[in-house]
Chain A
Amino acid sequence: MLQIARWKITLILLAVLAAVVVTIPNFFPAATVAEWPGWLPRKQVVLGLDLQGGAYLLYEVDRTDYVEKRLRALVSEVRTAMLESPRIGYTGLGIQGQGVQFRVRDLDRLADVRQRLEPLRNPLNANLLAGTGGVREFDATVNDDGLARLTYSDAGLSERVRGIVAQSIEVINRRINELGTTEPSIQRQGEDRILVEAPGLGDPERLKALVGQTAQLTFHLVEGQMNDQQAQQTPPQTGTVRFPLVDDPSSIFEVADVPLMTGEDLVDAQTGFDQQTSQPVVNFRLTTSGARKFGDVTSANVGRLFAIVLDDEVISAPVIREPIRGGSGQISGSFTVESANDLAILLRAGSLPAKLTIIEERSVGPGLGADSIEAGKIAAVIGTIAVALFMLAAYGFFGLIANVAVIVNVTIIVAILTQLGATLTLPGIAGIVLTIGMAVDSNVLIYERVREEFKQGRTAIAAIDIGFKRALGTIIDANITTLIAAVVLFFLGSGPIRGFAITYMFGIGTTMFTAITFTRMVIALWVAARRPKLIPI
């Protein structure tokens, strides 16, 4: 036990040395480290959002909103399908729960109805393996009494939501890349959630505005204008919808429900300034087909108003003075430079396929982050000093060995964090400080055991030898139970809590490692050098 081969000593010392080397860059500012020559270690610990400041935003696809919009579109799809010649008569077409239903007039044509509804069921991910066409978005039922329904199947809706999440992540990525200042991570969480983490961001408001906005842009011909009281008294005409003006919600526009154009027809959008008013505006260019469509519509409707609608609000409603054939146009409204710029980004990046809502948000300003780092450092230093003094008072020279072991311990934890790129959070620092308190435990266990063995009449060297052996089993059993709790915590926790679990887990591991290797080595070397007759504890 007390004989340690020279190669083992070399190995242990090398491991400790490696840990020290890897840890070094953490003591210097990032800017300084960046200028170091390439052969020096340059990795630094990744700080969590709570330490460097930043935003954690968890979004969820708004299913209700999505289903409602999708069913509204489905109603008009059903109408078109039934009106195809030869026409099939129906009554009571409308949204009912999670689906669309109507009643077929002519009960002899139910087979035709079934046939026409089939394409509307909309196959999602055509499954190559099964060859059955994969999941359908809707289930269709046509009863013999003429009641026909298209309803969302559970599998269809889940599949759809998964698709929406994937598409949204792409759109969000494009938007944030346009912003170009931060490097957030965007991840799917579960079936219908998206997690956006943006480190080092002082003000999450702009990020939130950019990520969360659906940015569904549509152009509609205006059918009528009214104030909100008039709007309440009269129902909208068939084939129209009403949107309020963004700057004055009491002013309502009644517009054709089929848009002239959508954001999909845009190829580019840039901020600019209006030549006459010098107000910020957004200039856009249309795709070739979009330009042709826009040209045709504008030439047929000169003199009428068209409304530019963004997320169900009218930004502006200019008059069509002349046919617009060049494939480009301008959106004016009461923009600031920043809001015009943001709208341009949103239009370039495309719209989100469904509304996203923030269900969890945690943002930390840089001020609190810096304070937390400071507080964590001070607490760690004071905690270490307190524990070290106690160990010195209790065990003298052996206490000193324990203290060196603790420092080695913490160095290895930091080295592992640095090398693995694991995130250090404030609770993570708490985990390290807790480890400092608990790491001496392995030394305490060993020393107390050695004392006992010595008091029972063994020679000093035999007592150390046996004390070590017996204490090791205890150390391992005790630490593994603690490790179980830490591992569960790791899988349960997110963000800062996971940061705690990480350092705590590593702390338990390094505690066992230093007890078995480093402490043993130092004591073995001391025994070999001194051949002690008494035990200094």
Chain B
Amino acid sequence: MRKFRLIPDHTNIRFMWLRRFNFPASTVLSVLSLVLFFTIGPQYGIDFRGGSLIEIKPVAATHDLGAIRATLGGLNLGDVQVTEVSDPITGTSVLIRFQQQEGGAAAQQAALTRVREAFADTVEFRRVETVGPRVSGELARNGTIALVVTLLAILAYIWFRFEWQFAIGAIIATSHDVLMTLGFFVVAQLDFNLSSIAAILTIVGYSLNDTVVVYDRIRENLRKYKKMSLVELLDRSVNETLSRTTQTSLTTVLALLALFFFGGEVIRSFVAAMIFGVVIGTYSSIYIAAPLLIYFKLRPGQAAADEATTAGAAGRA
């Protein structure tokens, strides 16, 4: 029986040589992402900005978005956003977001009551979320702490299991994924919520999983081919693991796509971020994590020779 192969059996792609193109590109994009995140910024959801979100589903078969906007406009809620979301399974519903009301928690509750009374029996209230300013500040702080703690814990683990070079390489590659994902949130205008932090942490875990598999092979090959130049060895290791790396990403993305299309509106942006992260994490394991090791002296005294080989390879190309 002939089996389907995603990647041909004997690839020999010169990833190390390719780094002269994708390193600058990745650096520029990472910096750009960071700039975008802190200038334009993502569309912060209520978890971090505070305020309320109400999802309603009109009882009648049809509804008029304009009428809903007009009703809300008369309720003195300040800036109100009304968006319609359609879903193959849960049908069409309307999301209403409004900001933190002046006058604190009591005013916020009063505003919610006004909305409930205005629509009363004409809609089904599917969910109501309110986050106060102190809570939103804490959530943002906890999210940042979690991210930093994760990165440090993983740095320590890889340092312990491998060598420091691998730990640094893995952290750079993973930080690259995190930055790119932050940029993705801005560009795709996804709601940035607590679940987005969860998505980013998952991406960190996934990307490292991929990276560790590649590093594991590099470590093994370092012992096996003591004479081989580092560039050749890294290329060989990445090519050997290429089939596994891409297949796992594919199955993971397949599962996530099912969630994206059928899992409902509530988790869609969470899943979208993860799909992006899995793709970018796969890229970074292949094109960033491994080539980075060239810059650290994995084999004392061989760095110069490696550079010469790379130059030679480039010349031939």
- B210 proximity list for chain A (CB < 8 A): 478
Smallest CB gap from A193: residue in B? B135
How many A residues have CB within 8 A of the partner chain? 77
Known A375-B87, A375-B264, A378-B262; judge A473-B216 contact (CB<8 A): yes
Task: Check B258–A394 contact: CB distance below 8 A.
Answer: no
Contact stretch, chosen from A29-37, A86-94, A229-237, A433-441: A433-441
Q: How far is the CB of A78 from chain B (nearest CB, A)?
A: 30
- B226 proximity list for chain A (CB < 8 A): none
Task: Check B142–A492 contact: CB distance below 8 A.
Answer: yes
Query: A479 on the interface (CB 8 Å rule)?
Result: yes
| A interface with B by C-beta (< 8 Å) | 50, 58, 60, 204-205, 208, 357-365, 367-368, 371-372, 374-376, 378-380, 382-384, 386-387, 390-391, 393-396, 426-427, 429-430, 433-434, 436-438, 440-441, 444-445, 448, 452, 455, 470, 473-474, 477-486, 488-489, 491-493, 496-497, 500-501, 504, 536-537
Q: How far is the CA of A75 from the CA of B17 in the complex (A)?
A: 80
Q: How far is the CB of B160 from chain A (nearest CB, A)?
A: 10
Q: How far is the CA of A504 from the CA of B256 in the complex (A)?
A: 14
Q: How far is the CA of A360 from the CA of B205 in the complex (A)?
A: 29
A-B contact pairs, 27 of them (CB 8 A): A204-B128, A205-B113, A208-B109, A358-B132, A361-B129, A363-B128, A367-B57, A368-B266, A375-B264, A379-B261, A386-B255, A386-B258, A387-B255, A390-B254, A426-B266, A427-B267, A430-B271, A445-B213, A445-B248, A470-B220, A484-B205, A486-B201, A488-B146, A492-B143, A493-B198, A500-B198, A536-B1
How many B residues have CB within 8 A of the partner chain? 83
Known A360-B135, A437-B253; judge A205-B195 contact (CB<8 A): no
Candidates B132, B157, B244, B250; contact of A484 at CB < 8 Å: B157
- A391 proximity list for chain B (CB < 8 A): 251
- B131 proximity list for chain A (CB < 8 A): 359-360
Q: How far is the CA of A124 from the CA of B146 in the complex (A)?
A: 37
Contact stretch, chosen from B2-10, B24-32, B307-315: B2-10
Contact stretch, chosen from B37-45, B65-73, B147-155, B298-306: B147-155
Q: How far is the CA of A244 from the CA of B5 in the complex (A)?
A: 79
- B205 proximity list for chain A (CB < 8 A): 481-486
Known A374-B89, A536-B1; judge A438-B252 contact (CB<8 A): yes
Task: Check A437–B89 contact: CB distance below 8 A.
Answer: no
Known A368-B90, A474-B213, A484-B154; judge A444-B198 contact (CB<8 A): no
Summarize B's interface: helix, strand, loop or mixed. helix
Task: Check B127–A362 contact: CB distance below 8 A.
Answer: yes
Interface bits B109-148 vs A (CB < 8 Å: 1, else 0): 1000100100000001111111110110000001101100
Known A360-B130, A445-B244, A488-B149; judge A434-B264 contact (CB<8 A): no
- A491 proximity list for chain B (CB < 8 A): 146
Q: How far is the CA of A455 from the CA of B243 in the complex (A)?
A: 15
- B240 proximity list for chain A (CB < 8 A): 452
Candidates B3, B113, B149, B250; contact of A396 at CB < 8 Å: B3
Query: B173 on the interface (CB 8 Å rule)?
Result: no
Q: How far is the CA of A433 from the CA of B55 in the complex (A)?
A: 25
Smallest CB gap from A504: residue in B? B202
Q: How far is the CA of A500 from the CA of B201 in the complex (A)?
A: 11
Task: Check A357–B154 contact: CB distance below 8 A.
Answer: no
Q: How far is the CB of B280 from chain A (nearest CB, A)?
A: 16
Task: Check B266–A372 contact: CB distance below 8 A.
Answer: yes
Known A372-B264, A441-B248, A481-B158; judge A58-B105 contact (CB<8 A): no
Chain A CB within 10 Å, residue with most, of B108, B125, B158, B161: B125
Candidates B126, B157, B195, B254; contact of A368 at CB < 8 Å: B126
Task: Check B194–A383 contact: CB distance below 8 A.
Answer: no
- A394 proximity list for chain B (CB < 8 A): 3-6, 247
Interface bits B193-235 vs A (CB < 8 Å: 1, else 0): 0110110011011101110110011001000000000000000
